[in-house]
Amino acid sequence: MNYRLPINTIKEQIEAKLQHNFGLTLENATDDQCYKAVVLVVRDLMVKGYLEFKKRAEETHTKRVYYLCMEFLMGRSLKNNLYNLGIEEDFRKALSEMGLKLDNLYEKEPDAGLGNGGLGRLAACFLDGLSTQGYPAMGYSLCYEYGIFRQKLVDGWQTELPDFWLPGGKVWLQEVPEKRVEVHFGGHIEEYWNNQYHIVNHKDYEKVMAVPYDMYVSGMDGRGINVLRIWSARGEAFDMSRFNSGDYLRAMEQNAMAEVITKVLYPEDNHLEGKSLRLSQQYFLVSATIQDIIRRHLFKYSTLDNLPDCVAIHLNDTHPVLAIPEMMRVMLDECGYTWEAAWDIVTRTTAYTNHTVMAEALECWNEELFKFRLPRIYQIVQEINRRFCESMHQRHVDGYKVGRMAPLNDGYVKMANLAVISSHSVNGVSALHSDILKETVFNDFYTEMPEKFQNVTNGIAHRRWLNQSNPELASLLTEKIGDGYIHDAAQLEKFLEFKDDASVLEQLGKIKRDNKVRLAEYIKKANNIVLDPDSIFDIQIKRMHEYKRQHLNALHILTLYQWLRDNPNADFTPHTYIFGAKAAAGYYFAKQMIRFIVNLAETINNDPRVNQKLKVVYVEDYRVTLAELLTPAADISEQISQAGTEASGTSNMKFMINGAVTLGTLDGANVEIHEAVGDDNIILFGMTTPEVSALKRSGYRPRVFYENNPIIRNAIDEMNKGFCGVSFRNITDSLLNEDPYMVLADFESYSQAQKRAEALYNDHARWNQMGLVNIAKAGRFAADRAIREYADNIWHATPVPPAPAADKTVKATVKKPIFKKMR
């Protein structure tokens, strides 16, 4: 479909939207209203493209992918969709003739509050890749009213404020009220036999309505347009009789309690109510989604027998794993399938991606809570557990091993175990991570069912993180190697031809400096800190977590500060260290890490002895829009998690494609980045995964490093005294007594890596060459490649053919009755 419109038509449609939707003329409209009018015009184009794409998919019986994830970190959509549809310059010209600036309208859009970190951003990149390559797909998540939270730093302490994204973001959402479904919680189960039929009744349950909102996601050139369907929770009905009798609070209570489900992403769960809400959120997502998928399939085929041939359901991490027992419930209770027939269909349809080796992320639910909130689902999980354990015992598997693999054990429902048992494919997201899963986390399963385990290394939407975020670099690439890399990121490899071209290397250096100037202007405005764009911009942006080791970075900065205080006239290349991260609301230690970095930054930035050489910036309220500004400006990409803890990482890929040099451990996808660029174009430090394991086995004693290294000792002693009147003894106590992620063990190696980075940076031609090699080798980390691997090896899906099949006699799968007798 051609999405381009004549300039006059664009202007007319924008003015029509202003008039019909806001009752305004252009002269009276604000930029915010003009932004919404433009979005409505673009959304109409996307709806038309989606309907055409959907029609082609249905006519060709192309397999559909359903991607379930608790979060989709979409960022802003207007610029992305205008770029992908190839109409950005048309709209820019039309708006200019109307006296408006497109860039000003971009700033009116909030980041969609539907995600938090790498998990959600990956899901968003995958929707882009699915659409670009023409795979019919739907993403499913929840319509969080307040998103994750807006971060405000008060005296260095993270304060969480509501993220009011919907007023500006809802214009992208199209409500589909006729597709609403019921989701049931609590109550009790009645079971009995009526002649040969097994009857299961769910009684006295709490009913919550799931109302879908659709957000359209365009691929490059508009080849495919897919949908992200997000569910909003509503109460069943307003209790007018209670209200009229004066019981106002009780009348409102049912609606209020239902709507809490989709208020906030990841509510704090360090109390029973929080745990119950999180469980409710997860079941609400999967129940609404599975009902929607099955209803759509039955409408077309009138049977679920062919579901695995027509549909792939992908569970992104453990949060949506309840889709498996929910699908069994629908097939058993509502469609009349036998257990064996339903289980065969479910297990051939669903696949699972694991994203972590962190124990806290491998979710376990208290059995009593689970049974109370989801009584029928609990029964089904019990039966899955019974049958699985029975099958393992029949194979003479050791009883202790069966217990470790069981989805129900020790009073907990173990979601990761349930996922592995019930899926036909289980994959990690980097080569190292997948090996760790097989060797440790899921070793019991791997030894019994090795055929299930695969690897698909993560990827990024390179068009967004390169072409849109770094237009100067994209222009240089297009000039030197053509624009084929836009569709096929592997063609970036052609850029290697210029690694010895002094002119190209000089241009790369200028582009990097321009991006640093742009970031410095933002930081001057937002933080009132003046940065030197000729200093080394060393950036670490990701979730705040102990295993990501921002405190290793900060501890090293403190040692630099101490050295510069003692040697103010020493030869030192100016450094700017930049952090951006949110900590989970209840993660006290991570909040203390933020406070340490912020207070250390304030101390350094206000010390005239060092602040011309050393600056530290903590960027508040880190989000996708800020990442698009930060990533192109980085000289050094900090990827310093302890080896064996990061599943993959994607910020490393975004930095790499923008010409930053990775300073990191051999962890996650860093291993594959190292493999791609070679020893000379990455700065590695620290222990490897086997070395970490060996040190743990031998008995790690972190205090030894404090006692034997005066640099570490002086830094920790100063942390105990504190900055800005705050002592950080709780961090130092952890480092000295536990140090769970071996910060002190890797500190000296990290310090030496920083010195190597400084020396390399000072050879500007060499540094720019390293950046060029990283750009050229980044193609393998495109989401398009990852999607093709999922499609070929896991989903067994193909793209929609570009035109309807020539043979008009193709027939749909033979329809069969919906209901089957239970045996």
Give yes or no: 548 in active site.
yes
The 10 Å CB-count burial string (b at 16+, else e) for 632-665 is bbbbbbbbbbbbbbbbbbbbbbbbbbbbbbbbbb
In one letter, which amino acid is 276?
S
Other beta carbons within 10 angstroms of residue 567's beta carbon come to 11
By C-alpha distance, which of 753, 510, 549, 768 is closest to 660? 768
Give yes or no: 355 in active site.
yes
Helices (H), 73-212: 78-85, 88-97, 102-106, 118-132, 166-169
User: Long-range contacts made by residues 48-52, C-beta under 8 angstroms, separation at least 24?
Assistant: 48/1, 49/1, 49/3, 49/85, 49/218, 49/222, 49/225, 50/216, 50/225, 50/226, 50/227, 52/1
- Measure the CA–CA gap between 638 and 630, rounded to whole angstroms: 13
| pLDDT confidence of residue 247 | 66
- Measure the CA–CA gap between 772 and 722, rounded to whole angstroms: 42
Q: How far is CA 460 from CA 106, 171, 548, 782, 787, in A?
A: 22, 26, 20, 5, 10
> Of 278, 463, 548, 780, which one is the catalytic site residue?
548
What class is the 465-781 domain?
alpha beta
Contacts of 325 (CB under 8 A, 6+ apart): 377, 380, 381, 384, 418
| pLDDT confidence of residue 252 | 66
- Measure the CA–CA gap between 308 and 243, rounded to whole angstroms: 48
Q: CA torsion, points 130, 633, 648, 290, in degrees to nearest 10?
A: -40
Strands 408-409, 412-414: pairing kind: antiparallel
Whole-number mean pLDDT of the chain?
94
Locus of tokens 């993660």 = 587
| pLDDT confidence of residue 242 | 65
- Measure the CA–CA gap between 765 and 506, rounded to whole angstroms: 7
| pLDDT confidence of residue 256 | 78
In one letter, which amino acid is 200?
V
* 816 has a pLDDT exceeding 80: no
pLDDT in tens, 681-693: 999 999 999 999 9
pLDDT in tens, 369-426: 999 999 999 999 999 999 999 999 999 999 999 999 999 999 999 999 999 999 999 9
Q: Which two tokens stand for residue 676?
A: 């791609």
> Of 43, 64, 79, 355, which one is the catalytic site residue?
355
Confidence of residue 581 (pLDDT cuts 50, 70, 90): very high
User: Which phi and psi angles does 284 have, rounded to 5°?
Assistant: -55, -45
Residue 168 CA, distance from chain mean position: 22
> Of 43, 654, 777, 780, which one is the catalytic site residue?
654
> Which is more confidently placed, 807 or 182?
182
By C-alpha distance, which of 74, 49, 229 is closest to 140? 229
> Of 542, 595, 615, 780, which one is the catalytic site residue?
542
- Measure the CA–CA gap between 211 and 292, rounded to whole angstroms: 11
* 238 has a pLDDT exceeding 90: no
Helix (H) or strand (E) segment spanning residue 175: strand 173-175
* Helix, coil or strand: residue 265: coil
Confidence of residue 803 (pLDDT cuts 50, 70, 90): low
Helix (H) or strand (E) segment spanning residue 35: helix 31-59
Q: How far is CA 180 from CA 208, 285, 501, in A?
A: 10, 12, 60
DSSP-derived letter for residue 582 is -
> Of 349, 559, 650, 689, which one is the catalytic site residue?
650
Q: Which two tokens stand for residue 345?
A: 């269909």
* Helix, coil or strand: residue 500: coil
Give the CATH fold of the 60-75+111-458+788-795 domain: Rossmann fold (3.40.50)
Please give the full DSSP string across 374-436, using - where no structure is assigned: -HHHHHHHHHHHHHHHHHHHHTT--HHHHHHH-SEETTEEEHHHHHHHH-S-EEESSHHHHHH
User: Do 719 and 731 touch, CB atoms closer than 8 A?
Assistant: yes
pLDDT in tens, 492-526: 999 999 999 999 999 999 999 999 999 999 999 99
| pLDDT confidence of residue 808 | 39
User: How open is the CA angle 688-554-457, to the nearest 5 degrees?
Assistant: 40
User: Which sign does the torsion angle of CA 120, 351, 646, 515 carry?
Assistant: negative
User: Do 741 and 645 touch, CB atoms closer than 8 A?
Assistant: yes
pLDDT in tens, 193-213: 777 777 889 988 999 999 999
Domain ranges for the chain, please list them. 1-59+80-110, 60-75+111-458+788-795, 465-781
* 812 has a pLDDT exceeding 60: no
By C-alpha distance, which of 274, 258, 266, 36 is closest to 146? 266
> Of 17, 543, 613, 785, which one is the catalytic site residue?
543
- Measure the CA–CA gap between 375 and 121, rounded to whole angstroms: 33
* 563 has a pLDDT exceeding 90: yes
| pLDDT confidence of residue 389 | 98
Helices (H), 639-688: 651-657, 670-677
* 822 has a pLDDT exceeding 50: no
* 228 has a pLDDT exceeding 70: yes
> Which is more confidently placed, 147 or 342?
342
Locus of tokens 């609403």 = 180
Instruction: Examine domains 60-75+111-458+788-795 and 465-781 and report if their fold is the same.
Output: yes
3-state helix vs strand vs coil in the chain, percent to 5:
55, 15, 30
Q: Which two tokens stand for residue 172?
A: 């992208």
* 169 has a pLDDT exceeding 60: yes
Q: How far is CA 140 from CA 124, 146, 230, 266, 488, in A?
A: 11, 18, 6, 16, 27
Q: Which two tokens stand for residue 291?
A: 């009902």
Q: How far is CA 73 from CA 238, 327, 425, 578, 626, in A?
A: 33, 26, 25, 22, 13
| pLDDT confidence of residue 823 | 25
pLDDT in tens, 624-643: 999 999 999 999 999 999 99
Give yes or no: 654 in active site.
yes
User: Do 222 and 1 touch, CB atoms closer than 8 A?
Assistant: yes
User: Do 493 and 779 touch, CB atoms closer than 8 A?
Assistant: yes
pLDDT in tens, 449-493: 999 999 999 999 999 999 999 999 999 999 999 999 999 999 999
Confidence of residue 810 (pLDDT cuts 50, 70, 90): very low
How much is the average pLDDT of 131-158? Answer: 95
> End-to-end distance of the chain based on CA atoms, in angstroms?
50
Strands 311-316, 350-353: pairing kind: parallel
